[in-house]
Chain A
């Protein structure tokens, strides 16, 4: 029914897709799998019209098509359950599902009875898996995340699509809901609906998919039927054991680490998404945090930085601390490079100079000693080899990698003891990534403690002294020494197998 040929897509310096292929027939479920950052999401966005490809072809029923918008794709029968929710919180379940397609009576009035019936029919598909008080008239804002996801799925299926894309649609569902979804997928298949299924959970893929297509670094590296594939083979396809490329860091041994001072100790940390996290981090250690992409790692780093409220105990140099504002953490030598560079790390319309100095202005007296501030900023820019037109150029003119250098630079200016990094190399070209790796290595050698979350598994394996893998708001396994391998990390985050703590 649908065929994707040689699709390529580049975002700025990053080649998200180089050569992606895909074929799917009516009544078939295809699992699109790959490690973090392999291009799965980009490919699904090319298919549903959100992203325009740079090259390649989309063939629908053998005819070449080009979707200008998600709407055009929907008209062609391609419906997507988005990861980012497309519901309007203030409106009810029924209103959201039928928005722009409301059943009418007398040509202009919304027919509530029919709308309600149709919504109830849709909801009944998932009956028993959500709270009883969820009715067509419940506002979406009052729903739990899993219920919202269900409504999102129902909205996508309500257009009677020929092809349904489920992009991480199961991530926030519980096992019963997933099971129900799989039963439904079975029914939809018999009706001739084709389904592209994207998930991080290998067990789900094994259970539901007829065929698979594996992406690695934007390239389709394997296709086949699920029957003939073992989970281990797929993992190997997704993440072959590599040397880590540009990463050249000598790992501290567990014994070496044990002799070092504990700088940060966390006991039973809980937030809205963390469900009891405990850990110890040593001086000069580079601790990796892995696991499925999600709110969890972000919340962990933010809680340490005083950015979100939490319960639990944090000891800094054996002193209990409880930061309620990042400013307090900052004063104690803790720094955070947040995950959303433009939205949380930078002041886009201000100059590079000001961006580098935001946390530090108070240290320059009154009136601000601009000459000294400029010297310091200049020194950091040189140290980070920042490629810029000048310190007074707006930060928005920088490339992704250089902009990230500014975010890191603003903290290096303060010589932090603990550096928290939330996926710092996302969307950054390879050369700059290599610079980062050298920088982090040097910082650790100088005694800075680094906690790094990355969605790039190779990076985590190559850089970390120790690696904690998070699952369900907890630390599910700890990898160190010989157990620190990509295969183990992928396996642990997919929940294929569990490694004991060494």
Chain B
């Protein structure tokens, strides 16, 4: 099979396109917002990006395993509702710790339900997680019917304002996850994940526990969504049962822009992190570029569609010319 140079380059470096976009978006942002690299600005940006980054990482892992998880946004909402109602604005730190721990288990449980249906009952991932997303969204509303509640300001302050050695807290969290991922990649499980997403039949023939691996990706995705939900709650400090809704599309977009193909078996988590940052930067640019308020959503969405279409367009043009 002959491959073009672009194909090979994007194959070997799935983040190439994302990096290119990142450079463009970053430069544009820097021009519009010259103090972008100052610690406080960096911090105020990163703390906003972090929830999506966390959710996108989970989404990417499911996609590498050959699936997709449309319920992540709803899981974020459930966790937010849980935290806002169970910790409360005047809750003590002990309670907060327990509730956050419980929230992680709730996220994993939700992911396990997805995994059960997809991996073991062999249902289609898209439609299954779409169905569960409705169930989880209902659950979030059930816990918190009206926006309200919240977490103590001491907690939000810790999340919002922690800067260690000029770098915001978010950097350390991301670094920690990257290290963890680096280790996972070195294990057999890491290999199995890519094998299952790449060609499940061949992996099965070779003796890879395909279903267990698929199941695990949804549990991980649930866990990451729960972490994203905690970050989101600490960021906003308040409860809103629909806060996670936009994260579903954004997490998929971030993963796809970050070079994770929906066909599975390729990609990583650095790409989706970059993808999530790009999405955030685009929002920044739009608001700093003086785009009229009413146009912002549209421009944002149109740029995303273009970014998603770009690899396809490049391929099409290349085929025409070659």
Contacts and interface: CB of A to CB of B under 8 A. Distances in A.
Direct contact of A and B (CB under 8 A): yes
Nearest to B8: A142
Contacts of A85: 202
Contact of B186 (A87, A90, A110): A110
Contacts of A77: none
Contact of A139 (B11, B186, B191, B207): B11
B206 A100 contact: yes
Interface of A: 70-71, 85-91, 95, 99-100, 102, 104, 108-110, 112, 139, 141-142, 144-145
23 contacts: A85-B202, A86-B205, A87-B202, A88-B198, A88-B203, A89-B199, A89-B265, A90-B197, A90-B266, A91-B191, A91-B198, A99-B191, A99-B206, A100-B192, A100-B208, A104-B188, A108-B187, A109-B187, A110-B191, A112-B186, A139-B12, A142-B8, A145-B1
Nearest to B209: A100
A100 B11 contact: no
B121 interface: no
Interface string B271-287: 00000000000000000
B194 A90 contact: yes
Interface string B1-21: 101000010011000000000
B197 to A, nearest CB: 8
Nearest to A141: B11
Q: Is the interface of B mostly helix, strand, loop or mixed?
A: helix
A71 B183 CA distance: 29
A99 B195 CA distance: 8
Contact of A142 (B3, B186, B190): B3
Interface of B: 1, 3, 8, 11-12, 183, 186-188, 190-192, 194-195, 197-199, 202-203, 205-208, 265-266
B190 to A, nearest CB: 8
Given A110-B188, A141-B1, 4 more contacts: A88-B203, A99-B191, A99-B195, A142-B8
Given A88-B265, A102-B188, A142-B11, A71 B198 contact: no
B188 to A, nearest CB: 6
Nearest to B263: A90
A86 B187 contact: no
Contacts of B192: 100
A70, A87, A95, A99 — most chain B CB neighbours (10 Å): A99
A427 to B, nearest CB: 21
A55 to B, nearest CB: 26
Contacts of B265: 88-91
Lowest 5 CB-CB distances: which A-B pairs, in order?
A: A88-B198, A90-B265, A90-B198, A109-B186, A88-B199
Contact of B183 (A104, A109, A144): A109
Contacts, number: 64
B207 A100 contact: yes
A95 B187 contact: no
Contacts of A91: 191, 194-195, 198, 265
A102 B191 contact: yes
Contact of A89 (B191, B198, B208): B198
A85 B207 CA distance: 15
A99 B194 CA distance: 11
Contacts of A145: 1
A99 B186 CA distance: 13
Contacts of A104: 188
B208 A99 contact: yes
B210 to A, nearest CB: 11
Nearest to A105: B186
B191 A71 contact: no
A86 B205 CA distance: 8
A148 to B, nearest CB: 10
A270 to B, nearest CB: 14
A87, A89, A100, A102 — most chain B CB neighbours (10 Å): A100
A139 B265 CA distance: 12
Contacts of B207: 71, 100
Nearest to A112: B186
B202 A88 contact: yes
Contacts of B1: 141, 144-145
Contact of B195 (A71, A88, A142, A144): A88
B191 A95 contact: yes
B194, B199, B206, B265 — most chain A CB neighbours (10 Å): B206
Contacts of A109: 183, 186-187
Nearest to A144: B1
Contacts of B266: 90
Contacts of A86: 202, 205-206
A70 B202 CA distance: 12
Contact of A110 (B187, B206, B208): B187
A308 to B, nearest CB: 14
Contacts of A144: 1
B209 to A, nearest CB: 9
Given A139-B11, A142-B8, A88 B205 contact: no
A139 to B, nearest CB: 7
Contacts of A100: 188, 192, 206-208
Contacts of B206: 86, 99-100
Given A88-B195, A90-B194, A91-B194, A99 B187 contact: no
Contact of B194 (A70, A88, A110, A112): A88
Nearest to B185: A110
A142 B183 CA distance: 26
B186 to A, nearest CB: 5
A455 to B, nearest CB: 24
Nearest to A82: B205
A424 to B, nearest CB: 27
Nearest to B190: A110
A110 B195 CA distance: 15
A84 to B, nearest CB: 9
A87 B265 CA distance: 12
A112 B186 CA distance: 9
A409 to B, nearest CB: 32
A296 B202 CA distance: 25
A86, A90, A141 — most chain B CB neighbours (10 Å): A90
A350 B174 CA distance: 51
Contacts of B197: 90
B221 to A, nearest CB: 20
B8 to A, nearest CB: 7
A141 B3 CA distance: 10
A141 B263 CA distance: 14
A71 B203 CA distance: 12
A447 B60 CA distance: 59
